[in-house]
A and B are shown apart, each in its own frame.
Chain A
Amino acid sequence: MLGSALIVFREVLEAALIVAVVMGATRGVVGRGRWVSGGIAGGVLGAVVVAAFAGAIADAAQDRGQELLNAGVLLAAVAMLAWHNVWMSAHGRQLAAQMKQVGHDVSVGAKPLSALALVTLFAVLREGSETALFLYGLAASGAGHQSLLVGGVLGLAAGAALGVVIYRGLLAIPLGHFFTVTGWLVLLLAAGLAANAAGYLNQAGLVPALSSQVWNSAWLLRQDSWLGTLLHILVGYNDRPMGIQVVFYLVTLFSIYALMRLFGPARPGRPAPTAQSPA
């Protein structure tokens, strides 16, 4: 039971952290709860479908179906996060100013919300399908259904609880800096997901490793430790990255950053020199 709880927890954790960041990034926007829960529900549904067709997916595209699906889902999430950040760099200050002014949630265009709903959908889909397969395996190998269920629910609850804790932590950031911080979080999250996608593309033989190990920081922080896992999910920490992963990480980081500079007056990490609040 504890074993299944632990594995489910690890799987749920990644999705939960991404949902927490998305909830932070959409703070103050009317209707975000509906969008995000819609994303989670869609992700659960998709996860069950992916798990049910795991065999067919694995066989597809010359045995590369699973890698391509993972890489595709990750890169789609990266694109959505990028779009959100670029949109926020143009409208974020206005959003924060309005929130301060009216003291409650404000309505913005639904476009960035739908993008972030998709990000939660992708996160839940990826992690959920693995969880579903794992639990199915346990059930099929005759583990008591009751202990299985208890383990799964415990893992799910613990993962979700940690997501809530991270979200609460984010909310403690003062509103003036809030979207700067979430902007950076989204940027690093996107870069990390792109690096993961590079790993899958290399596994599929579509991109070269460039270098099988650029550095080894396992002595400092192992990626499979709890802190390492947390940092891996949130900012893409990797203790032994391949060259191609570093390339994807940096290219994503700098491209999104450049697009944010291009489309928005605000720089992440620095408050605007002149406030243009529509007061």
Chain B
Amino acid sequence: MLRLIAPLFAFAVVAAAPAPALADDYVLVIKEHRFQPAELTVPAGQRIKITIDNRDPTPEEFESHDLRREKIIPGHTKGTVWVGPLEPGAYGFYGEFHQDTAQGKLIAK
């Protein structure tokens, strides 16, 4: 069955050119369950690499419904999230494990 189904997905994977080429690095730091900066401005219309640096000892899940991203960042580690190309606008994100404090916004200009 797997052999029958796999090619159906393979076409999509093969057809994809991994976009990350030249992109600036943006950094979000998580400290005491807060994002620093809480508002990150990035250029619109291009693929952006965001490094999330979790300096808390506890894991956090970076989640954004607006950006359709979810990624767990274990304590004292860094994680990478690619977003975009984005339309200009504001995109909310939050830390799912500490939603009361970990809130932020990505501003695409």
A residues in contact (CB < 8 Å) with B: 3, 7, 54-55, 58-59, 63, 66-67, 75-76, 78-80, 82-83, 86, 130, 133-134, 136-138, 140-141, 194, 198-199, 201-203, 205-208, 212, 223-224, 240, 242, 244, 247-248, 251-252, 255, 259
What number of A-B contacts does a CB cutoff of 8 Å give?
A: 107
- Is there contact, CB below 8 Å, between A207 and B12? yes
Q: A55-B74, A137-B75 are in contact. Are A259 and B4 (CB under 8 A)?
A: yes
Which 9 residue pairs spanning A and B have beta carbons closest together? Answer: A137-B58, A83-B1, A207-B16, A63-B80, A55-B74, A205-B18, A133-B59, A54-B74, A79-B2
Q: A79-B2, A130-B61, A141-B58 are in contact. Are A54 and B72 (CB under 8 A)?
A: yes
Contacting residues, chain B, for A58 (C-beta < 8 A)? 71-74, 77, 79
Q: How far is the CA of A250 from the CA of B64 in the complex (A)?
A: 24
- Is there contact, CB below 8 Å, between A55 and B8? no
Tell me the count of chain B residues lying within 8 A, CB to CB, of chain A: 42
Q: A140-B57, A208-B16, A212-B86 are in contact. Are A133 and B72 (CB under 8 A)?
A: yes
Closest to B16 in A: A207
Contacting residues, chain A, for B31 (C-beta < 8 A)? none
Contacting residues, chain B, for A59 (C-beta < 8 A)? 77
Contacting residues, chain B, for A138 (C-beta < 8 A)? 58, 97
- Is there contact, CB below 8 Å, between A79 and B87? no
Contacting residues, chain B, for A201 (C-beta < 8 A)? 12-13, 16
A59-B77, A134-B59, A138-B58 given. 15 additional CB < 8 A pairs?
A54-B59, A55-B77, A58-B71, A58-B79, A133-B61, A136-B58, A137-B97, A140-B75, A141-B57, A205-B19, A240-B65, A248-B12, A251-B9, A251-B12, A255-B5
